[in-house]
Structure formats: C-alpha cells, structure tokens
Amino acid sequence: MISNKLMTVLEKIMYGCLLNVFWLLGTIVGLGIFGIGPASYALAKTISQKELFTNQASLFKLLSVYAKEYKMSFLKANSVFLIYLITISILIINYRIVMLNQILQSIFIIPIILMGLYCLSTLFTSMVVSIYTEGTLKEKIKLTLLSPLIMPSLFMFNIIFLCLVSFITYVMPITIVLISVTLFITGILFINLNKLQKKHLVIDYI
C-alpha cells in the first residue's frame, strides 16, 4: 500500500518535471516574450487533460499534446499576454513616476498596486475561463474581468499563491527548471476551477 502511494507521488513529480521542461522549451521557442503566453496556456491545457495521466501517457504522447496545444494557442495566447504585459508595464511606469512625488504617492500608490494585483489575478483566471467555461468570447472576457469582484477569495488566493511560489523559486532557483511553473499552474487551475464550479460556470472537472 505504502509503495503504491509512493510510486503514485513519484509519478506525479515526474510528470510535473517533464511538463516544466516543456514550458521552458516553449518559452525558448517563442524567444522569451512571445513564448511565455502560449507555453503557459499549452501547459494548462495539457494538465486539464487528466486522461493523459490516468492512462500513464508516454513522453512522446505528452510532448505531442503539448506541442499541438502550443501551436494552436500561439496567436491567441500571445494576444492576451501582450495586452496584460503592456497594461502592467504602464502601471509600473506610473508607479515609478508617483514615487517621485510625496503628494502623488499618498493619493495614487494604493490604487496602482491594487490595479496591478487585479491584472495578475485576472490573467491567471483567464486560462481557466478559456479552458473550462462555455460561452462567447465577450462572455468569457466579462467573467474574467469580473472574477475578483464576484469571487474575492479567489483573487486573494491567486495573489498569495503567486507570492508563495515566487518565494520558493527565489530561495531555490533550481525549482524554475524542475517544477515551480507546473506547480503554480496546477494550483491555479485547481483552485480557480473549484471556485468556478461552485458558481456553476464550468463544463468539466480537473
């Protein structure tokens, strides 16, 4: 019994490491900035196909599924990612400008920080909404943008979980190569999906 549980845990760790390597390769193929979006979405989409792991898919099968999702989502994922990247970059510039003036700092610093956290949270939720919910593009965008308001606990989790994984990666940089991205996206999928399921907005379970 113990050996079976241990093998199951080791198998999940192995899959996590493999998917993390696929994410790194996808990011490199996209030359960094054009690879992060599709690499992350393809990773989330691959993780969502639970039959791959219950049926103990081969390395080639996992890679082929990931590569297919990466190719199919390249333009869409980059469009979403670049919109968020530009928005967050503008917020960072505004943050630096505001920090130069004490009066501006007292008025705008908290709204800018909250807006940045809002952007990060909705970016993470957008993957789950795209994969698991039905509806038009307009409806999915509306759900994504409203998610921190209708599910504030989800907003808090996304930010706290990001900080936790970022801290682990900072303390142990090797984890970015081994498993931290897979761990983060799996956690984001699991919690976001559960919250959306409670709102009866999903079409499947992870």
Q: For residue 88, what are the contacts with CB-CB under 8 A and spacing of at least 6?
A: 116, 119, 120
Alpha carbon distance 32, 26 (integer Å): 9
Locate 151 and state its tokens: 């599910």
User: Are 62 and 52 spatial neighbours (Cβ–Cβ below 8 Å)?
Assistant: yes
Return per-residue pLDDT of the chain as tens, 206 residues: 556 676 767 777 777 888 888 899 999 988 888 999 999 999 888 888 877 776 666 778 888 888 999 999 899 889 989 999 999 999 999 999 999 888 888 889 999 999 999 999 998 888 888 888 777 888 888 888 888 888 888 888 888 988 888 888 888 877 666 678 888 888 888 888 888 777 776 654 44
In angstroms, the CA 63 to CA 119 distance is 30
How far apart CA 64 and CA 36 sit, in angstroms, is: 18
DSSP 8-state assignment for residue 164 = H
Phi (first) and psi of residue 199, to 5 degrees? -90, 5
Please check whether residue 59 is in contact with residue 46, taking contact to mean a CB–CB distance below 8 angstroms.
no
